[in-house]
Amino acid sequence: MIPVSRLLPAGLAALGIALFVSSCEKAAPYLDQVKKALDRETEEEQAARKPIAPEDIPPPPAPVKMEPVINKEARVSILGYHDFTEGTSTNDMILNIEDFRRQMQAIRDAKLPVISMRQFLDWKQGKSDIPAECVMITIDDGWKATHTLALGVLKDFGYPFTVFLYKNYINIGGRSLTHEEVREIAQGGGTISSHSVSHQNLSRRGGRGDAAYDAWLREEFIESMRFLEETYGDTGAVVKTFAYPFGIYNDRALEIAREAGYEACFTVNGKKTGWEEKDMEIGRYVVHGTTLANFDPALDFGGGAVTTGGRKLLAEQKSEDGATQGPLVTVKPEANAVIGNRLPLVEVDLSKLTGVDPASIVLRISGFGRVAHQFDAASGRLTYQIPQRLRVETCAVQLSFRHSGSKENELIGWTFQIDPLADYLSSEATAPGKNDPLPAGSTEEAALAPPAATPAL
Ligand SMILES: [Zn+2]
């Protein structure tokens, strides 16, 4: 007989099989589920491989709006220069080169960055940012001194700048820039832009009918730029901007400038340029050669970085108890006065200021540049007798000085007007020379350039 000890395992084995079969039967529905789940995944995977019908494509998510990274509060001060000289300037369109160098240094001292035309345009067009307060330098016309004098100074400072050239005054000899000089300007940080073909007043129709006027304007805007691109385009320095000759334009000129595809056009109304400024009417501060007028306002962004007090000194003062006092500095002829005498005595009373360093005083007058004034330290009275009849309608005077021990220049500037009939008002004549005859061939330009005998420093 089979011992129990051997039967038991067999029995257990049989029981095990029975239990296994029984449990497999119970497991069958679960396996089905697993199988179905696996099959379903496969179906989904297959579906994913099927091309998607256009109607099944969900709408794209709303694009993330990328605000241009630009400062719309930034302001640019654009300077306008013309010609330069190593001598004394007797014409507001010509600046002494050392005065120019001092101005470039003043920009640096004021920690104002100088931007290029391309940077300016990219900011205006919302493409890239510029510093909150910065300066742009432009030089008009194409005088040879742009190359022989200004270029070296600008390179020393590493400042970018723009030259506005007019086609009819390029490479024609005399004091015009040669093509080679324009190229060197382009290589030295200069942007080349247009200042028209003929440098005429674009608002003057000159008897042209509508069609002829339009055709002429198109020539000035389109041909001038075509010429620059053809001649200097390979330098990569030509940028499509335009400076109106004399800063003058009208609505038709604006339209044609826009049609011609200019990115910006420049005038001569001195003010800071904000982001909202109209692209076809960008202002510039034209720096005057004899008085340096416009330079200091150009650099004044309101923080008083460069000059102080000029306007304050000439204005009435309010004392702490609210009482009004006279200005600290009084001048003659008074600011904005209209005078009938073309030979006025210019007087400045500095007696209320303490500690003015007499050696630091510099007086500049329209048409004369820096002049040799008299200063009486005891009375604080400064005088200068205009030695040649003023032939300008508006005469600007600028006085700068320092207080002893200070490095900062105080500046006082004002203008007065000459009555156009002054020549006939002989009773106003108080100074010698009043009855000198007008020089032969006297012109507006002669008025800006007094004879060399002018005792200018
Ligand atoms: Zn010009």
Is 247 in the same domain as 186? yes
pLDDT value at position 159?
Answer: 97
Give domain status of residue 57, yes or no: no
Is 262 in the same domain as 113? yes
Give domain status of residue 326, yes or no: yes
Please count the other Cβ atoms lying within 10 Å of the Cβ belonging to residue 394.
11
pLDDT value at position 82?
Answer: 97
Task: Give pTM, 2 decimals.
Answer: 0.60
Is 243 in the same domain as 344? no
Going from the Cα of 245 to the center of ligand 1, the distance in angstroms, rounded, reads 5
Is 289 in the same domain as 191? yes
Segments of the chain scoring below 70 in pLDDT: 1-52, 54, 57-69, 303-312, 315-320, 322, 422-457
Going from the Cα of 93 to the center of ligand 1, the distance in angstroms, rounded, reads 10
Is 269 in the same domain as 358? no
Going from the Cα of 337 to the center of ligand 1, the distance in angstroms, rounded, reads 30
Give domain status of residue 49, yes or no: no
Going from the Cα of 123 to the center of ligand 1, the distance in angstroms, rounded, reads 26
22 burial type by CB count under 10 A (0-12 exposed, 13-18 middle, 19+ buried): exposed
Give domain status of residue 35, yes or no: no
Give domain status of residue 274, yes or no: yes
Going from the Cα of 422 to the center of ligand 1, the distance in angstroms, rounded, reads 30
- Say how many domains are in the chain: 2
Is 353 in the same domain as 294? no
Going from the Cα of 195 to the center of ligand 1, the distance in angstroms, rounded, reads 7
The 10s digit of each residue's pLDDT in 323-362 is 777 778 889 998 878 888 889 999 999 988 888 899 989 8
Q: Are 448 and 365 in contact (CB under 8 A)?
A: no
User: Domain limits at 122?
Assistant: 75-299
Is 113 in the same domain as 234? yes
Is 321 in the same domain as 432? yes
Give domain status of residue 23, yes or no: no
Going from the Cα of 82 to the center of ligand 1, the distance in angstroms, rounded, reads 7
Among the candidates 299, 334, 366, a domain finishes at: 299
Is 274 in the same domain as 409? no
Distance CA 226, CA 231 (A): 8
Is 261 in the same domain as 368? no
pLDDT value at position 222?
Answer: 98
Q: Which residues surround ligand 1, an ion (CB under 5 A)?
A: 140-141
